[in-house]
Structure 1
Amino acid sequence: MQSAILKKIIIIIMAVALISIILAGLMIHFALNRQFHTYLLGNEEARQEQVVRGLAELYENYGGWENLPPRFAPSRNNFFGTLRFVLDEQERVVLASRGLPMLPNPNSLTARPIYVAGAKVGTAYFGKTLFENLLTAQDRMFRTTINRSILGALLLTGILSFLVALLLARRISDPITEMNRTARAMTAGQLDSRVQDLPRDELGELGASLNRLAERLKETNELRKKMTADVAHDLRTPLATVRSHLEGMIDQVIPASPENLESLLDEVKRLTTLVADLQEIAQADVARYRFNLEPLALEPFLAGLVQQMTPLFQKKKLRLALRVVQPATVRCDRDALTKVMENLLSNAHKYTPSGGNVTVLLEREETQAVIAVQDEGIGIAAADLPYVFERFYRTDQSRNRESGGFGLGLTIVKELVEGLGGSVTAQSTPGAGSCFTVRLPLLPE
């Protein structure tokens, strides 16, 4: 894979570089030729002007065109350059290139007037020479040197572009190859694999995200294994109890007394509760489509809930209070929110020792209603806090009946709150208590 990516990146960079180099070379070549052509034409015009001035001096020195000696024929004197012929004011040829069989067409020539003392005495006609014929040996050498320099610069630029493309391609392809290796390892179950030597760019951010994904997958895998063991434990214990009691009753070792039957019924209820919780979790993530959403004033709703659960708290000598900082109205499902609050208050009741206080706080934060349940219980260790909303996760690993539950209550809370469009967080200090905060969108006024 590395070679394929490397080749593609090199080809792309080199294609862009070569196209740029060729275009730049052509632009420089044409621009140079155009400027060189302009330079030569300027030289030719200056030469023609010099010839015209020389012809004016000849006219003035000899007193007219008719007095010129034959030695001044243009073909015999390099001074005249491309001069073809000269016409006087009567359109008569007074000078002409040697060997002309007939008078050339003046429209194909360059005409320049000849003035003496401000009066026009004739017209000089010069031939239009091809660009290549204007070049001297030095001009050709200069142009050849420039073209070779441009070609050499283009070749050197191409080589440097290839080296730069190779370095850039390796810099880009190496992290991609490393991430691909890590992803393949993760697919094979090696969740400890991580991307090393992350660059400080977008590829580095992608690699860091892949590392976080691997870490999350590892944690999820460990929680999955733990959940499987916990479910097996929570099912095995009541089933073993029911089986042993039934076998004992069949063998007439255990009497089928109301007390023993009541014990069996408790275990069946325990299994029924576990199955119901599992089913509720399975449905909670899609429950938002079945929620009966309606405007709900939280202050009277919480006051009624606190009043309803106060006898349970008083039985354990706990004080349950509602404190309203700001009233708030939300749009949510009353039954779902009741389930959320019952779970949170049940946990507070369960883990707060006798004589403690549990407070339900209602306030507002910008566009959200905030409901906080603060207890004075045993608290949650910092290592356990990030996982309290995971399925079957319990800080009490002994899983005894006194602490109760299957580790599903807070999972149900999280699923229901998120289904209502809100969020739930937990804060805790071991030995000082915990605070669970539910945030729900306020009903627009």
Structure 2
Amino acid sequence: MNRLWVRLLLSHAVVAVVAGLTAYLVVRAVAPQVYDHEARMMPGHGMGAGQGMRAVAVAAMNNALLVGVLAGVVAALVAGAYGSRRIMRPLEAVSHATHQLAAGRYEQRVALPRERELATVAEDVNTLAARLAETETRRVRLIGEVAHEMRTPLTVLDGYVEGLVDGVFTAGPEVLDEMAGEVRRLRRLAEDLSALSRAEEGRLDLRPVSTDLAQVAAGAAERLRPQIEDAGVELAVETASPLPLRGDPDRLAQVVTNLVGNALAATPAGGRIVVRAALHDGSAEVEVTDTGVGLAEADLERVFERFYRVGPRAGSGIGLTISRKIAEAHGGTLGAASGGPGRGAAFTLRVPASAGP
């Protein structure tokens, strides 16, 4: 009985029954009075022939039916208006809620109606509101974090500049190298934000060429080996070369670098990171596994959302978003798997080996 189509069907049936019953009752009540009135108005009342009586009966019935139909229409309109109002009230609540969400009031929620279909729509709106509220919270937090990330190198640079002006420091190689490091840090942050913007708008700049994904993956992992070994983590690179495809080697290397970097951030000293590249079901695959903190099931997809971060050592929360966009731009996918918290994680990049972006 809580299905919308059932309620609509029943409402129409009720309208029809009410209209018909009203017409019947009105005709039954009015027809005798109309007949008597018409009979009295005829000349020679009491002496009329059968033809005259027939005309009286037809006129009486026609008039009675006209009144009955009008009464039935009015009753049907009343019943239909009532039923429509009962159905439209939840829809109006949903419409009001969506306008509130569009105005930025993400705390708005819709009460669930009894009808199952309308309740599903209301639940979807409530879910949308919750997700928008979370996104807004992450956006505000990201702005604060970006401001903090920018403030730190700017403070360092400001200190060095003041020291140089005041003669506290000399413009030697060591000081200039420190300043250059802070400038590079700012540039990386700006490049990440710019790449995220382009990825969200579908404007990633790809330069596809014939390349070997195994070689790209191995090269990206080996560039991080000194940093990984300094952290006391073991790195194993297992590649089955060649894995030919048409793609942008720099962008693909960016994905692998991000995956390995995230694995390092999630893996404590004594852990292990493995980078594997192989051909599987017509796709060139790169899998990066670690023995780190792992992921909860609820985080397996959310880690790819912009600004979403897991753990205190996570970065800005946009690297995996960009990486997935790069994979999709190559006609591939990027997914995550984990046995749960404390059981490590695996990220797999899949790109069609026989088709380019």
* 1:45-84 matches, cutoff 5 A: none
| Residue 347 of structure 1: how far off its partner (Å) | 1.8
- Compared CA separation, residues 169 and 154, structure 1 to 2 (3 A): same
Q: Is the Cα contact below 8 Å between 2:275 and 2:286 reproduced in 1? A: no
Q: Is the Cα contact below 8 Å between 1:344 and 1:436 reproduced in 2? A: yes
- Compared CA separation, residues 228 and 312, structure 1 to 2 (3 A): closer
Out of 333, 344, 353, the position equivalent to 1:433 is 344
- Compared CA separation, residues 334 and 288, structure 1 to 2 (3 A): farther
Q: Is the Cα contact below 8 Å between 2:210 and 2:245 reproduced in 1? A: yes
Partner of 2:140: 225
- Compared CA separation, residues 364 and 174, structure 1 to 2 (3 A): farther
Out of 189, 193, 211, the position equivalent to 2:108 is 193
Q: Is the Cα contact below 8 Å between 1:358 and 1:376 reproduced in 2? A: no
- Compared CA separation, residues 150 and 334, structure 1 to 2 (3 A): farther
RMSD of aligned residue pairs (Cα, Å): 4.0
- The CA deviation string for residues 284-339 of structure 1, in whole angstroms up to 9 with x for no partner, is 34565742345666456545655666666556451323377xx9765543332221
- Compared CA separation, residues 144 and 287, structure 1 to 2 (3 A): closer
Q: How far apart in 2 are the matches of 1:187 and 1:435? A: 38
SS in 1 for 2:238: strand
Out of 327, 332, 336, the position equivalent to 2:251 is 336
Partner of 1:345: 260
Q: Which has the higher contact order (CA 8 A, sep 6+)?
A: 2
SS in 2 for 1:192: coil
* 1:104-115 matches, cutoff 5 A: none
Q: How far apart in 2 are the matches of 1:396 and 1:251? A: 42
Partner of 2:235: 319
- Compared CA separation, residues 296 and 167, structure 1 to 2 (3 A): farther
Give the counterpart letter for 1:338 in structure 2.
A
Q: Is the Cα contact below 8 Å between 1:285 and 1:416 reproduced in 2? A: no
| Residue 426 of structure 1: how far off its partner (Å) | 2.8
| Residue 234 of structure 1: how far off its partner (Å) | 0.2
- Compared CA separation, residues 396 and 261, structure 1 to 2 (3 A): farther
Give the counterpart letter for 1:432 in structure 2.
R
Q: Is the Cα contact below 8 Å between 1:306 and 1:322 reproduced in 2? A: no
- Compared CA separation, residues 247 and 391, structure 1 to 2 (3 A): farther
Give the counterpart letter for 1:433 in structure 2.
G
* 1:87-166 matches, cutoff 5 A: 135=51, 137=53, 139-140=54-55, 143-144=58-59, 146-147=61-62, 150-151=65-66, 153-166=68-81
Q: Is the Cα contact below 8 Å between 1:424 and 1:439 reproduced in 2? A: yes
SS in 2 for 1:395: coil
| Residue 260 (str. 1) matches residue 169 (str. 2) | no
| Residue 215 (str. 1) matches residue 126 (str. 2) | no
Out of 291, 303, 307, the position equivalent to 1:388 is 303
Q: How far apart in 2 are the matches of 1:146 and 1:404? A: 86
Q: TM-score w.r.t. structure 1 length? A: 0.58
| Residue 193 of structure 1: how far off its partner (Å) | 0.6
Q: Is the Cα contact below 8 Å between 2:214 and 2:277 reproduced in 1? A: no
Q: How far apart in 2 are the matches of 1:439 and 1:412? A: 15
Q: Is the Cα contact below 8 Å between 1:417 and 1:423 reproduced in 2? A: yes
| Residue 414 of structure 1: how far off its partner (Å) | 2.5
Q: How far apart in 2 are the matches of 1:330 and 1:145? A: 90
Q: How far apart in 2 are the matches of 1:285 and 1:414? A: 11
Q: How far apart in 1 are the matches of 2:285 and 2:87? A: 47
Q: TM-score w.r.t. structure 2 length? A: 0.70
Partner of 1:358: 274
SS in 1 for 2:349: strand
| Residue 200 of structure 1: how far off its partner (Å) | 3.0
- The CA deviation string for residues 143-194 of structure 1, in whole angstroms up to 9 with x for no partner, is 4565456445524532331232112221232123212322333344321111
Out of 78, 82, 89, the position equivalent to 1:167 is 82
| Residue 437 of structure 1: how far off its partner (Å) | 2.9
Structure 1: tracts of 5 or more residues without a match: 1-12, 22-132, 398-402
SS in 1 for 2:293: coil
| Residue 418 (str. 1) matches residue 328 (str. 2) | yes
Q: Is the Cα contact below 8 Å between 1:368 and 1:439 reproduced in 2? A: yes
| Residue 284 (str. 1) matches residue 168 (str. 2) | no
Q: How far apart in 2 are the matches of 1:294 and 1:245? A: 43
Q: Is the Cα contact below 8 Å between 1:375 and 1:434 reproduced in 2? A: yes
Q: How far apart in 2 are the matches of 1:320 and 1:359? A: 6
Give me the identity figure in percent.
32
Q: How far apart in 1 are the matches of 2:150 and 2:219? A: 36
Q: Is the Cα contact below 8 Å between 2:293 and 2:341 reproduced in 1? A: yes
- Compared CA separation, residues 284 and 180, structure 1 to 2 (3 A): closer
Give the counterpart letter for 1:161 in structure 2.
A
| Residue 215 of structure 1: how far off its partner (Å) | 1.6
Q: How far apart in 2 are the matches of 1:165 and 1:197? A: 23
Q: Is the Cα contact below 8 Å between 1:376 and 1:432 reproduced in 2? A: yes
| Residue 386 of structure 1: how far off its partner (Å) | 5.3
SS in 2 for 1:320: strand
Q: How far apart in 1 are the matches of 2:135 and 2:78? A: 45
Give the counterpart letter for 2:337 in structure 1.
Q
Partner of 1:45: none
Give the counterpart letter for 2:85 in structure 1.
R
Give the number of aligned pairs: 311
Q: How far apart in 1 are the matches of 2:314 and 2:68? A: 82
Partner of 1:50: none
Q: Is the Cα contact below 8 Å between 2:259 and 2:288 reproduced in 1? A: yes
